[in-house]
Chain A
Amino acid sequence: MVLSENQTNALKTSILCRDTEIDLLNAFVSENAEVSAPAIVVHGYKSNGKTFIVNRFLETLGVKKTVIKCDECITRKILLQRCLRGIASDTGIPNAIQSINDTGRLKQGSLGESLYSFLTTLDSFFKENNYKDRHVLVLDRFDQCIESTDEIYGGFIRLQEQTKIRNLSIIFITSSDDPKEIITTSVPHIYFRSYEEHEVIQILQMNRLCSFGDPEFDDNPASEEFWMRYAKMIVDLYFVYTGSDMNLLINICFKLWDRFVEKVIDRTYDLTEFVRVYRHNSSLLEDENIINNSRVKTVGDFEVDKSAGSAGVDDLPVHSKYVLIASYLASFNSQKDDMHNFSKIKAVKYKKRATTSAKRSHLTKGDIDSRLLSPNYFDLERLLAILSVIYRTNATSLNTMDTEEILNFHDDPAIREEKKEIERTKFTLSRNTDLYSQIATLFSLGLISKSASSDILGARVRWRCNVSWTKIQSIAKDLQFPIIDYLQKE
């Protein structure tokens, strides 16, 4: 028996803009298992009412149903187990879960190990308990299970072919296309089209989500009007971004409501003066944080965190900062220019100038500012070499004269500087283990990354800088390091 016309009409009035879809559901799912399709695919863009409507429809139809939220299942095994348990407990048979557990364990060793064991367990459970009630299994967000479900898709579709169960039909709810491997042409598909803008407004206006929390306002009929205009405003402003995604829209509604109505609650504006309230809040509505959802509150005053995007690496030790800069230079300079960039030998520089002056006809990689290209991988040794060079020439601890620290310096400064120069040429950071632990820390902070799936100790591991130019620039500024001098020019 399908839904009567009265019932469908009632359903259609409570659920807006989904008349066709309800009719289609009504055509394929009925109380009588013989005349309904063994499996149906319900698909459409996310959060436009698929699950809601299917659930309401099945409730109205009054059949036993089991809804499994597949996106909460980590593996197929859990998905199958939950189906079995869910079906068993929804049958209303006493001790059903215990019995299905026993069946599963007796037959297969464990429950839901494979699709085959799932089918046999379900089959024997139905047979043993002589279960004949009409039952619908809803696999919600079937495509969003954390482990891929493509392999069991076909099995579910052919459930009635492979078992003697006739009273169970399945509704898949997905938001993506069917997988290519499975033939689903014989299975009816119900497509939920995306809502139009005016439909979204209509739906939002019908459900009054937010209240003033004060009966004086909430009972006022004007508040109804206020909500209508608020909902329309939200959709008008953000539809371009959200599309028909109801979840996002509802989220935005809640997020803005409290601050939007502040002035109404403290009675600066009247409930009827929507436009004035809107004008007052215009800056609030333009805030980009509303869209990216990343705002967090600082604890204590519950103010929204407004801190601007600082580099966030300020408290790194000095050497780590130099390692980061060296990694940036290694990633964004090509290795063949290293002699040119980092060597003191002048001949290399002249040679370089001579070769590049020759005119080339078309654009090569060298003509593009390397900062615009993606970072290259480099060997650890190259990083260490660059680090040694830039640290020796730029570190403040190695490049301050004694006279900058102490007045009346008595020893001969010239001799001392000479000695220092010798020591400086031998200075290296890679001497002790601290440097390596710093590199490991930078890696775990995600500031440098390594080539995929290589062992961190292996000889073939290659590294890459993972920091943006702006961040590096701020670090360099912090260290007073002339990073631009070392970047490949031309």
Chain B
Amino acid sequence: MTRRSGKRSGKNSAVSDEEDFDSPSVSADEESATAANKNQYFSANGDNDNDQKSHYFITPNRKRKAETSQDEFPSIVDSLLGNSNCKKTKTKPNHRTPFLALFNGKESDQHVQKRYQIYKEVWQSQLQKIESELNNTNQELFTNLSEFVFRYAPVEKSHIHQLPVGFVQLSSNSANNLRIMEKFNIHLNETPEIKNTKVININSKNCYNIKAALREIIKQFIEERSSIADITTEEQSGDEEEDLEEEGGEGDDENDIEENNANSDGEDDQGEENQGIEFQGRVNYDFDIVGDWWTANAKLSKLTQAVIILQDANSVSNHVLNQLVRLLHAYSAEIPLRLILGLSSENTSTWINNNLNNESRTLIDGYKFKSNDNVDLGFVLLDKLFLCNNNPSILLDPKLTTIMLNRFYNSNNSIDALIAEIKLIYMIYFYQQPLSILLTEEIPDDAVYIEALRKLPSFKRHIEMKVYEKEDSEVRKLLTDDNPIKNLFKTTRTEFKLYQLTILNVITVVNELQRIIPDTSFRKKTFDLYNLVTSNKLVNSVFLNEIFKGINKFLSRGDIEKLIIELDRQTTEIYEDAQDEQLAELKASLLKSKNAADLSSSLNSVLQNYFKNNLLHNSIDNMLFHEIFTMNGGTITQTPPPLFEENYENLMINLVRPNLRSTLEQGLDDCTAYLHNPLVRDNDSTKKPMHPTLTQLFKVYKEAPVNINIYDFYVAFKQSLDREQVKTIIKASDKYDLDKEEHWEKLTYAWFIQNCFELMTVGLLKEKPKGDYLEKAIWKGV
């Protein structure tokens, strides 16, 4: 088990080759999983780290993969598509990237390489933004916390000794909390005082009872500092590495393994030595070990304090917590201990009241620390990443942003999950869009690119429009000649730049306008505004209407002046070859209207004028060549197209948040999605295929009552099978005579039992305690 890049095994095969190129650094779609992963970062050794994981990471052996997968995958694809002449793909590609040659393999190596390179550059720059934003978010909290750790002094002049405890109020999302605590560790490691400090990280998994908790603390205490420092720095760099691109590929892994080996060896030796010298026959959860260790080593290595960080105090049983506090307090007289408890967003005082007993409460000297709101952080990230002039500029499809925002608001406000989503969007886009190289390059001379441009749906629509407008000569030119389409593409590229510039400015304008209105409940986040603008829902929206009404009501002269200043500061009129003339006009007329007699009506007319901009009256997916300039996270055709935003789906969301239950039910209901579908079936055989017996049982199951008598269930299942058909399949190789009732029953009963167990493991059935009956474990239509 390594913590390096790996891949979740999903049945969506569209990006299944992604394991070769870097997978999302954090697959935080399931918090517990991240929690378990992160846990490795801290304990670096935990015995029971793997117990609670929901999925595991497997690192494939790169060398072997390099030999096999590149041969096999295309050949499987070919066999699926029925291509017999797969000679072209069988020649070993020279581009040395995980990307496949697209256009049915006609894409040249050079272009594949280029595509991969652009992907790397684009993601790298976005990643840097993410990193810098994340590093800056909780600086204040970290400074306060390290101040507390390094320079704690009791405020009240009492000679009763108390244990200093820091309560860190975090968010209710445990994945975020772990990330904050991890960053805090990194922060601690960067401070100069770390040399005098012992840092110990434990979490709820170490604390299922007091023995285990102490064992973990002691273990981390007596580990040599150097090895701890190594581990943390290594993990730190490992963490970054995961996100960064791996240039060398193969060499990397070996190094890592060696490092790990070296480390674990070192630790083992250490452990044995400690057994001999320091344990002195003590059991390994005897905190006296630490006491002795401290008196022996503290002066030697100039240790002045030790801090114990319990990352998720909410999940620890309060019984254990109280015992821990009492014990640590007892020892804090000789060892300057500080305890830091990470809490979820509950009110701190209430939490203490509910979870610590009065005795423990008198033993502690509590301090409260507050972290930032992570919902805001999510939006800051999105703004930084997408609401600025990037180069090359790729916009997000409004449907995609709706999906992302919905998930962020409704079900998973973890920052790590958000970052994973963003990365996946980039990956999907560059992996499957051969035209993505046109973002930076001119159109190559290869005819295949021109053809691809002509095949884009938006181009087809464009042609239809032209036909409708009866501009036949132009249509003919576009369809037959290469140069006109090249020119068309060039102009659209500039148009897109202008479009991007315009909407960014509109967002700023609207954002500033809504600040005029004092009612904050009405305000929208900038990223929500982006969503509205790009889907053409802003100009005629109730929201904008309300803003106009509000302006009429609340506008003052100061507001206009502020608006002018802010617009000057935040907007850009000219970016590269695009120039936002409407904005310039707006600014000019704002300056004029500043002195107008009737402020609000003059501003109103100015704004009306501004919003008349044609670019704002078009949704982004009506634009020509939008497939190249926008990312949509991979499309999935849904029939009928959903009306509710919560039902929107695309490839990206399907990968990070699979529809487990409905997939299961659908698959059992109708197995043709996986078996016997036209793609796999032998075309020559005219025989009607027999479906798996499991789906047969599921059909019976669906019609059964909540409590099912096992015998009735079996009889119904047996009756539902087509005996004649089974005979034709099994006859050839079998010594059984299925005409005999006994043999038939034996066979069906075996199938029945097997399938029942399968339904039980899936969670559809459960056994009633009294036998004879099975109970349906899921409800219909839930």
A315 near B373: Cβ-Cβ < 8 Å: yes
Residues from 633 to 657 in B contacting A, C-beta threshold 8 Å = 640, 642-647, 657
**A339-366 vs B: 1/0 string, CB under 8 Å?**
0000000000000000000000000000
Complex contact B345–A312 (CB within 8 A): yes
Given A312-B345, A320-B411, A446-B314, answer yes or no on A255-B156 (Cβ-Cβ < 8 Å). Answer: yes
Is the beta-carbon distance between A101 and B281 smaller than 8 angstroms? yes
Query: Is B235 in contact with chain A by the CB < 8 A criterion?
Result: no
With A295-B366, A423-B643 as contacts: A69 and B330 at CB distance below 8 Å = yes
- A434 nearest CB neighbor, chain B only: B411
Q: Which of A81, A258, A313, A317 contacts B286 (CB 8 A)?
A: A81
Interface 1/0 per residue, A124-154 and B, CB below 8 Å: 0000000000000000000000100000000
Residue of B nearest to A254 (CB): B158
Residues of B within 8 A of A419 (CB): 640, 643
Q: Which residues of B contact A385 (CB under 8 A)?
A: 779, 782
Contacts of B283 in A (CB 8 A): 75, 77-78, 81
Map CB proximity to A onto B319-363 as digits: 1 under 8 Å, 0 otherwise.
000010011001100000000000011111110110010100110
Residues of B within 8 A of A258 (CB): 156-157
B403-418 CB contact bits vs A (8 Å, 1 = yes)?
Answer: 0001111111100000
CB pair B281 A314 closer than 8 Å: no
Contact A388 B782 (CB under 8 A): yes
Asked if A460 CB lies within 8 Å of chain B CBs, one says yes
- From A69, A104, A308, contact of B281 by CB (8 A): A104
A77 CA to B285 CA in the complex, in Å? Answer: 11
**Pairwise interchain contact B345-A314, C-beta atoms closer than 8 A:** yes
Known interface pairs A210-B157, A302-B155, A427-B646. Does A445 touch B366 (Cβ–Cβ under 8 Å)? no
Q: Is B222 an interface residue (CB 8 A)?
A: no
Which residues of chain A come closer than 8 Å to B166, judged between CB atoms?
A: 299
A438-B288 contact given A81-B283, A312-B345, CB 8 Å threshold: no
**Chain B residues bordering chain A, tally (CB within 8 A):** 97
For window 749-780 of chain B, which residues contact chain A by CB distance below 8 Å?
A: 760, 763, 766-767, 777-779
A contact residues around B312 at 8 Å (CB): 444
Partner of A74 from the list B29, B171, B211 (CB cut-off 8 Å) is B211
Q: Does A484 contact B (CB under 8 A)?
A: no
CB contacts (< 8 Å) of A298 on chain B: these are: 367-370
B644 touches A424 (CB 8 A): yes
One of A244-252, A269-277, A327-335, A368-376 contacting the partner: A244-252
Please tell me if the beta carbons of B167 and A296 are within 8 angstroms of each other in the complex.
yes
Bound complex: CA A116 to CA B323 (Å): 28
Binds A, one of B99-107, B493-501, B535-543, B577-585: B535-543
Once bound together, how far apart are the Cα atoms of A82 and B326, in whole Å? Answer: 18
Query: Does A99 touch B at the CB level, under 8 Å?
Result: no
Q: Please encode chain B, from 277 to 299, with 1 for each CB lying within 8 Å of some chain A CB and 0 for all others.
A: 00011110111100000000000
Asked if A305 and B348 make an inter-chain contact with CB atoms under 8 angstroms apart, the answer reads yes
| Residue contact A101 to B31, C-beta cutoff 8 Å | no
CB distance from A147 to the nearest CB of B (A): 9
A194 within 8 A of B: no
Closest to B646 in A: A397
Residues of B within 8 A of A320 (CB): 172, 411
| B349 and A294 within 8 A (CB) | yes
The answer on a CB contact under 8 Å between B281 and A433 is no
Closest Cβ of chain A to B776, distance in Å, is: 9
- As a 0/1 sequence over residues 260 to 278 of chain A, the CB contacts with chain B under 8 angstroms (1 = contact) are 0000000000000000000
A444-472 interface (Cβ within 8 A of B): 444-446, 459-460
Please report the C-alpha to C-alpha distance between residue A210 and residue B158 in the assembled complex, in whole angstroms.
7
Contact of A162 with B by CB under 8 A:
no
A318 at the B interface (CB under 8 A): yes
Chain A residue with the shortest CB-CB distance to B541? A406
**A388-B543 Cα distance, complex, nearest whole Å:** 30
| Interface check A310, CB cutoff 8 A | yes
Residues in A neighbouring B314, C-beta threshold 8 A: 444-446
Q: Which residues of B contact A213 (CB under 8 A)?
A: 157
Q: Confirm or deny: A435 has a beta carbon within 8 angstroms of a beta carbon on chain B.
A: yes
B307 to chain A, nearest CB (A): 15
With A307-B349, A315-B345, A430-B782: A405-B157 Cβ-Cβ less than 8 Å = no
A-B pairs with beta carbons under 8 A, tally: 242
B 199-219 to A, binary, CB cutoff 8 A, 1 in contact else 0: 000001000001100100000
Does B658 sit at the interface, judged by CB under 8 A?
yes
Minimum CB–CB distance for A381 against chain B, Å? 5
Do A397 and B413 contact each other (CB < 8 Å), given the known contacts A74-B211, A294-B349, A299-B147? no
Known: A254-B160, A296-B349, A397-B644. A445 touches B172 (CB 8 A): yes
| Max chain B Cβ within 10 angstroms of own Cβ: one of A82, A211, A289, A459 | A459
Say yes or no: B374 contacts A315, CB within 8 Å: yes
CB of B150 within 8 A of chain A?
Answer: no
For B407, the closest partner residue in chain A by CB is A434
Bound: A296/B356 CA distance, A? 13
Tell me the minimal C-beta distance from A246 to chain B in angstroms. Answer: 11
Known: A81-B282, A297-B155, A381-B778. A315 touches B644 (CB 8 A): no
Check if A299 sits within 8 Å of B144, measured CB to CB. Answer: yes
Partner of A82, one of B145, B288, B315, B369: B288
B375 within 8 A of partner (CB): yes
Please determine whether A404 and B643 come into contact, CB atoms closer than 8 angstroms: no
Confirm or deny: B87 has a beta carbon within 8 angstroms of a beta carbon on chain A: no
Quick check: B285 and A74 within 8 Å, CB to CB? yes
Q: Any chain B CB within 8 A of the CB of A384?
A: yes
A292, A293, A300, A430 — most chain B CB neighbours (10 Å): A293
Of A211, A431, A437, which is within 8 A of B659 by CB?
Answer: A431
- The answer to whether B148 touches A299, judged by C-beta atoms less than 8 angstroms apart, is yes
- Complex Cα–Cα for A446 and B159 (A): 37
Select one of A309, A427, A428 contacting B350, CB under 8 A.
A309
Give every chain A residue within 8 A of B645 (Cβ-Cβ): 397
Contact of B658 among A111, A307, A382, A433 (CB under 8 A): A433
Complex: A87 Cα to B323 Cα, angstroms: 26
B548 to chain A, nearest CB (A): 11
A299 and B368 contact, CB distance less than 8 A: yes
Asked if residues A405 and B541 are in contact (CB atoms below 8 Å), the reply is yes
Q: Contact check, A211 vs B315: say whether CB atoms are below 8 A apart.
A: no
Which residues of chain A from 379 to 430 have a CB within 8 Å of any chain B CB? 381-382, 384-385, 388, 397-398, 404-408, 416, 419-420, 423-424, 427-428, 430
Please, how many angstroms separate the alpha-carbon atoms of A420 and B766 in the complex? 36
Q: How far is the CA of A101 from the CA of B356 in the complex (A)?
A: 38
Given A438-B412, A444-B312, 17 new contacts (CB under 8 A) = A104-B281, A251-B160, A292-B361, A296-B367, A299-B145, A299-B367, A299-B368, A305-B368, A312-B345, A317-B410, A320-B172, A382-B779, A398-B644, A428-B782, A434-B412, A438-B411, A441-B32
Q: What are 12 of the A-B contact pairs (CB < 8 Å)?
A: A71-B326, A251-B160, A296-B167, A296-B366, A299-B145, A315-B373, A317-B409, A318-B410, A406-B542, A440-B32, A444-B204, A444-B315
Q: Which 10 A-B pairs have the closest CB atoms?
A: A296-B366, A459-B766, A293-B361, A312-B346, A254-B158, A434-B411, A294-B352, A384-B782, A294-B353, A296-B368
Interface residues of A (CB under 8 A from B): 69, 71-72, 74-75, 77-78, 81-82, 97, 101, 104-105, 110-111, 146, 209-211, 213, 247-248, 250-251, 254-255, 257-258, 289, 292-300, 302, 305, 307-310, 312-320, 381-382, 384-385, 388, 397-398, 404-408, 416, 419-420, 423-424, 427-428, 430-438, 440-441, 444-446, 459-460
